[in-house]
């Protein structure tokens, strides 16, 4: 909203994403603690150790992380009020660097398969069919050597 109101020209700075995200989580946690001292949640961090600095609009991106962490703390707090102290919520924050290949797989003609065998058009066509034609979304999550997950959502 803020970036929109500034016409998207907000100042980008090279920042350490791990700091930005953990400061936001910390703020959300302390915000809820200030409202209810009995509230407790275990904060877990699984942060990529050598993230390169990212050029982002820090104030705006902080709001994204803060909102998501606030929502999580709020939901956990609500459930704790219902279930009592036996409920032990965990808020886990993970950062990962995705391999370059993951960013390219929806590009037309991108393929890592042997020349002549594949066109590299499968995912770019799929992207168009799902997003443009059906107004849905297609996302990929992948951890090298571990798994690849495609999530396709379609409107009702
Ligand atoms: N499940 C997967 N695991 C690993 N890589 C994948 C997976 N799905 C897609 N890719 C990568 O995305 C590229 C593009 O896929 P696609 O657009 O279907 O073209 P093609 O199958 O012709 O290579 C593949 O060449 C591969 O590098
Ligand atoms: Mg294919």
Other Cβ atoms closer than 10 A to 32: 20
Q: Which residue CA neighbors atom 13 of ligand 1 most closely?
A: 111
Distance CA 10, CA 21 (A): 19
- What is the CB < 6 Å shell around ligand 1? 101, 105, 110-113, 118-124, 148
Ligand 1 binding pocket mutation candidate from 107, 119, 120 (most atoms within 8 A of CB): 120
* Ligand nearest, relative to CA of residue 120: 1
pTM: 0.78
pLDDT in tens, the chain (156 residues): 555 555 556 899 999 999 999 999 999 999 989 988 888 899 999 999 999 999 999 999 999 999 999 999 999 989 988 998 899 999 999 999 888 889 899 999 999 998 887 889 999 999 999 999 999 999 999 988 899 999 999 999
Q: Which residues, by Cβ under 5 Å, contact ligand 2, an ion?
A: 122
- Compute, in angstroms, the gap from residue 94 CA to the centroid of ligand 2: 29
Closest ligand 1 atom, residue 117 Cα:
22
* Ligand nearest, relative to CA of residue 113: 1
């Amino acid at each position: 909203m803020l970036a929109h109101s500034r016409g998207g020209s907000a100042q980008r700075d090279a920042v350490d994403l791990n700091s930005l995200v953990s400061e936001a989580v910390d703020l959300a946690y302390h915000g809820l603690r200030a409202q209810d001292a009995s509230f407790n949640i275990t904060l877990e961090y699984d942060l990529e150790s050598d993230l390169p600095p990212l050029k982002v609009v820090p104030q705006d991106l902080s709001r994204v992380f803060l909102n998501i962490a606030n929502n999580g703390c709020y939901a956990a707090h609500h459930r704790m009020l219902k279930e009592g102290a036996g409920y032990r919520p965990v808020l886990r924050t993970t950062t990962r660097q995705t391999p370059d290949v993951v960013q390219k797989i929806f590009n037309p003609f991108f393929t890592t398969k042997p020349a002549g065998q594949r066109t590299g058009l499968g995912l770019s066509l799929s992207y168009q069919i799902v997003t443009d034609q059906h107004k849905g979304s297609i996302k990929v999550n992948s951890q090298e050597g571990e798994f690849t997950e495609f999530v396709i959502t379609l409107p009702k």
